[in-house]
Amino acid sequence: MTPITNLTDLINQRLPAELAGFMKSAGNMAANGGEKLYLVGGLVRDLLLGEANLDVDLVVEGDAVTLARRLSTGNITIHHRFNTAKLQWRKWTVDLTSARSEIYPRPGALPSVKPGKLADDLFRRDFTINAMAVALVPQSYGQLIDLYGGLYDLERRFVRILHPISFTDDASRIWRAVRYEQRLDFQIELETLRLLQRDIPMLDNISGDRVRYELECICNEQLPEKAFKRAGELGVLAKLHPSLSGNGWLADMFDQARRISLSGQKLADLYLALLAYRLPDIDREQLVSCLRLPRALARILRDAGSIRARLGELANTKLRPSQIYHLLHGYSSEAVTANLLAGDLPPARRNIQLYLEELRSVKPVLAGHDLIDMGVTPGPGIGEALKLILDARLDGTVKTRRDEERLVGEWLATN
Ligand code: ATP
Collapsing DSSP states into helix, strand and coil, what is residue 236? Answer: coil
Answer whether residue 219 is part of any domain.
no
Examine the domain organization and report whether 27 and 56 are in the same domain.
Answer: yes
DSSP-assigned states of every residue in 318-387: T--HHHHHHHHTTS-HHHHHHHHHH-S-HHHHHHHHHHHHTGGG---S--HHHHHHTTPPSSHHHHHHHH
pLDDT by residue (tens digit) across 75-122? 899 998 888 999 999 999 999 999 999 888 888 888 888 889 999 999
CA diameter of the chain: 90
CB atoms within 10 A of CB 311: 18
Domain that holds residue 375: 368-413
Neighbour tally for 80: CB within 10 Å: 8
Query: What is the domain-level CATH number for residue 23?
Result: 3.30.460.10
In angstroms, the CA 263 to CA 197 distance is 40
- Do 404 and 334 lie in one domain? The reply is no
CA of 218 to the centre of ligand 1 (A): 13
pTM, full prediction:
0.92
| 280 and 395 part of one domain | no
Distance in angstroms (rounded) separating the CA atoms of residues 137 and 393: 68
Examine residue 194 and state whether it is found in any structural domain, yes or no.
Answer: no
**11 alpha-carbon distance from chain centroid:** 28
Q: How many structural domains does the chain have?
A: 3
Residue 321 beta carbon below 6 angstroms from any ligand 1 atom: no
Calpha distance 84→121 (Å, rounded) = 13
- Ligand 1 pocket test: pick from 126, 127, 145, 221 the residue with the most ligand atoms within 8 Å of its Cβ: 126
Q: Is residue 292 part of a domain?
A: yes
Asked whether residue 120 falls in the same domain as residue 40, the answer is: yes
300 with 396, same domain: the answer is no
Judge whether 72 and 81 are in contact, CB under 8 Å.
no
In this structure, the answer to whether residues 350 and 404 fall within a common structural domain is: no
On whether both 134 and 18 belong to a single domain, the answer is: yes
Q: Mark whether 71 and 137 lie in a shared domain.
A: yes
CA distance 89 to 71: 7
Q: Same structural domain for residues 71 and 127?
A: yes
The per-residue pLDDT string of the chain (415 residues; one tens digit each, 9 = 90 and over) reads 556 799 999 999 999 999 999 999 999 999 999 999 999 999 999 999 999 999 999 999 999 999 999 998 888 999 988 889 999 999 999 999 999 998 888 888 888 888 899 999 999 999 999 999 999 999 999 999 999 999 999 999 999 999 999 999 999 999 999 999 999 999 999 999 999 999 999 999 999 999 999 999 999 999 999 999 999 999 999 999 999 988 899 999 999 999 996 778 899 999 999 999 999 999 999 999 999 999 999 999 999 999 999 999 999 999 999 999 999 999 999 999 999 999 999 999 999 999 999 999 999 999 999 999 999 999 899 999 999 999 999 999 999 999 999 999 999 998 7
Pick the last residue of a domain from 92, 124, 156.
Answer: 156
Instruction: Establish if 184 belongs to a structural domain.
Output: no
Do residue 356 and residue 397 come from a single domain? no
Residue 373 included in any domain: yes
Report which ligand 1 atom has the smallest distance to the Cα of 131: 20
User: Are 304 and 392 part of one and the same domain?
Assistant: no
**Within a 13 Å sphere around the CA of 132, how many CA atoms are in the beta-carbon half?**
27
Say yes or no: 8 and 128 in one domain.
Answer: yes
CA 219 to chain centre: 5
Q: Distance from the CA of 41 to the center of ligand 1, in angstroms?
A: 7
Domain boundary among 345, 361, 377: 361
Q: How far is CA 32 from CA 104, 176, 196, 397, in A?
A: 34, 37, 44, 77
Q: Which of 45, 161, 176, 220 to mutate for ligand 1's pocket (most ligand atoms within 8 Å of CB)?
A: 176
